[in-house]
Amino acid sequence: MDIFEQWESNVRGYCRTFPTIFKSASNARQVDEEGRSYIDFFGGAGVLNFGHNNPHMKRALIDFIEADGPAHSLDMSTSVKRDFMKAFADTVLKPRNMKYKMQFTGPTGTNAVEAALKLARRVTGRTNVIAFSHGFHGMTLGSLACTANDYFRNAAGVPLEHVTRFPFGCDIDDLEARYADSSSGYAHPAAVLVEPIQAEGGVNLASAEWLKGLQEFCRKHGALLILDDIQAGCGRTGSYFSFDDMGLDPDIVCLAKGIGGFGTPLAMNLIKPEHDEHWQPGEHTGTFRGQGFSFVAGREALKYFENDDFLKDVKRKGKEMEARLNALAKSHKALGMEVRGRGMLYGLDVKNGDVAKAAVAHAFKNGLLIGACGTGGRVLKLIPPLTTPDEDLDEGLGILEAALTAVGREAA
């Protein structure tokens, strides 16, 4: 670890939570240089939906490299980009009758959000955006203004403006009343930016009704509805989009993390064609918009969605997670824990950041990687690869239970 101590910036974070050096990783496990194996309930913060070194993707990537496939292409057209786009259209868009254009922004979620904000402001001619408490949308200045967490916001160094904040799950009639009144002092919004499931914010689930209310609000007030499905999309919740079956028709959907498949960066916005026309060529650019590896692995990932088998299995394992977590919460009533989640994304709110931190440390020692999220880091977030074998899931949940039991004992 000396090299990291000596040379890496003080800003480094997760390497402090998981103080070891990882050498290899396969599906739901990471192995450190000492040969210790860890079950991964962290899942690259939603990137590794298909596991570390997914064998289909490994094969495809090696073939691609050996065939001198174009690894980097800005936004030139490449064979693999076409194949990815076609597969995405065929597998995801067409079956849902979704008519959207695909924009490949810079390769991370924050680029997608920044691009979406630009377009919404262009389309509406307005500057203000509505975002929500506990929302997380990225670290660059435009996205950061929409992100709610003080710790991140305080690092901006400039006031974060052009965003009006409301509580996640706020009363829609109340919202409507404020914007209907021309003397309420609320600026007309260019967009409502919302995560159907707030992952970093503490695994908070928006109801279909609330999201539909927001959509209706947007339609009425000439604002765009932007769904940030960066962490919860790509199969994580047991459906491709976290908002499938909610009857929504968003103007822009931001995707990243999981769509690159293998842990390679890729970000993509889905944009309604009538809004997309407001873009002029090259207005939002970026060096890393055409990631060959991500198109190859991402295309493999889409195969998981060609029929329902995979998502059914995700749901099945998710139910198992939920049951175990509920039992855990029940057996530690003193902690007053709350279980929230859907598909294979679960939060165990232990209501106390110190308790969560202690549980994370205990779990790490026993071979489980799990992170904390939410206000003050009080929510343990379970976001394992969707391909996690049952036995790893079982073992990981066991380690978590033991950690909470130990921590609960200490607290008592």
Cα distances from 392 to residues 9, 24, 323, 369, 383, in angstroms, run 34, 17, 16, 12, 13
Q: Give the pair of three-digit tokens for residue 193.
A: 């930016």
The residue assigned the tokens 């020692």 is 365
- To the nearest whole angstrom, how small is the minimum distance from the Cβ of residue 146 to a second copy? 8
- To the nearest whole angstrom, how small is the minimum distance from the Cβ of residue 59 to a second copy? 9
Number of other residues whose CB lies within 10 A of the CB of residue 3: 8
Q: Which of residues 230-269 bind a second copy (CB under 8 A)?
A: 256-257, 262-265, 269
Q: Give the pair of three-digit tokens for residue 160.
A: 């974060």
Q: Which of residues 142-171 bind a second copy (CB under 8 A)?
A: 142-143, 145, 147-165, 167
The answer to whether residue 9 forms part of the interface with a second copy (CB under 8 A) is yes
Helix pair 172-180, 208-221: axis angle to 10 deg: 10
Query: Nearer to a second copy by C-beta: 14 or 330?
Result: 14
The answer to whether residue 181 forms part of the interface with a second copy (CB under 8 A) is yes
Classified as helix, coil or strand, 267 is coil
Query: Nearer to a second copy by C-beta: 101 or 315?
Result: 101
Task: Pick one of 39, 41, 91, 109: the residue that binds a second copy (CB under 8 A).
Answer: 109
Task: Pick one of 34, 183, 333, 412: the residue that binds a second copy (CB under 8 A).
Answer: 183
186 burial via Cβ count (<10 Å: 0-12, 13-18, 19+): middle
The answer to whether residue 117 forms part of the interface with a second copy (CB under 8 A) is yes
The answer to whether residue 110 forms part of the interface with a second copy (CB under 8 A) is yes
Which span (134-142, 310-318, 334-342, 389-397) binds a second copy, by CB under 8 A?
134-142
Site string for a second copy, 31-70 (x = CB under 8 A): --x----------xxxxx---xx----x--xx--xxxxxx
Query: Nearer to a second copy by C-beta: 30 or 239?
Result: 30
Integer Cα distance of 131 and 313 in angstroms? 33
Which span (22-30, 241-249, 322-330, 332-340) binds a second copy, by CB under 8 A?
22-30
Helix pair 390-411, 309-331: axis angle to 10 deg: 20
Q: Which of residues 75-94 bind a second copy (CB under 8 A)?
A: 75-79, 82, 85-86, 88-89
Q: Kindly report the backbone phi and psi dihedral angles of residue 370, in degrees, each rounded to the nearest multiple of 5, phi listed first.
A: -145, 145
Give the chain's length: 412
